[in-house]
Amino acid sequence: MPHLNRDGVSIWYEDHGTGPVILLSHGYSATCRMWDGQIAAFHDRYRVIVWDMRGHGQSDYPADPAAYSEDATVADMAAILDACGVDSAIIGGLSLGGYMSLAFHLRHPQRTRALMLFDTGPGFKSDQARETWNARARARGDELEARGLAALGQSDEVRMSQHRSAAGLAGAARGMLTQRDDSAIRSLETIRVPTLVLVGANDTNFLTAADYMAAKIPGAEKVVVPDAGHAANLHQPAAFNRAMEGFLARVG
């Protein structure tokens, strides 16, 4: 599978199948391996592109803290589409990957055919709420730096991921998991592409965010997956894939 050189930072991506293009972005501290079930289910009629964010998996772990940012991540996504010869795609992601999908649409609406937002949120209008989130993200980076990969825990998406060190994840927590402003949440009412908002019924931290996005995004379709937590695609793959299949069929 190819690597993409982004100003000296190597980004790992995989390109599976043929058909309408889907770009899927993983959650923080996961890798593209969390999408293996969707690659298997959809590659026979869709072109499914997955990737490892910088600081994760088989991509590079740059030492410079400035190499980790929302802008760099969105630019990585656009560069992957360029490398694959793709003008526009269905943009989807889970958790951090969902937030970055919103950020991608904000900067590249003409390259976004549709959005799929899985177990994610749009950020915060309140500066205080955003700073509370950012403080937790920075603390996560400090913990990874102090304890190494043992600090990751044993969530389903983490268990199926492999990282070479905790240094990149610490950098990603401080530079990518943190949020700089309210641009993503304020963009919701401007979205004019088909949008799927999906959340696991047991993902209590993101149920309110899913309700908010579904209410604010014009024409958004909301799906709650029963008996699923934060990684709904791993907890209930059949139900997740049915929801994705139905949405993709309506996108055309």
The per-residue pLDDT for 160 is 73
Q: Which strand ranges, in their side-by-side order, compose the sheet holding 221-225? A: 3-6, 9-16, 47-51, 21-25, 89-94, 112-118, 195-200, 221-225
Does domain 3-251 correspond to CATH entry 3.40.50.1820? yes
* Local confidence band at 1 (pLDDT 50, 70, 90 cut-offs): low
The per-residue pLDDT for 162 is 87
Report the percent of the chain where pLDDT is more than 70: 99
CA dist list (Å): 55 to 51, 106, 247: 12, 23, 31
Domain-by-domain residue ranges, the chain? Answer: 3-251
The per-residue pLDDT for 249 is 96
Report the percent of the chain where pLDDT is more than 90: 91
The per-residue pLDDT for 43 is 97
The per-residue pLDDT for 161 is 81
**How, if at all, do strands 112-118 and 195-200 pair?**
parallel
Of 32-46, 67-81, 153-167, minimum mean pLDDT range:
153-167
Dihedral (CA of 252, 185, 74, 42) sign: negative
* Local confidence band at 247 (pLDDT 50, 70, 90 cut-offs): very high
Reported as a single tens digit per residue, the pLDDT across 183-238 is 999 999 999 999 999 999 999 999 999 999 999 999 999 999 999 999 999 999 99
The per-residue pLDDT for 20 is 97
The per-residue pLDDT for 32 is 97
Reported as a single tens digit per residue, the pLDDT across 125-164 is 999 999 999 999 999 999 999 998 888 877 777 777 889 8
In whole angstroms, what is the distance from residue 188 CA to residue 195 CA? 10
In whole angstroms, what is the distance from residue 101 CA to residue 90 CA? 10
The per-residue pLDDT for 252 is 79
Q: Over range 99-109, report the average pLDDT.
A: 98
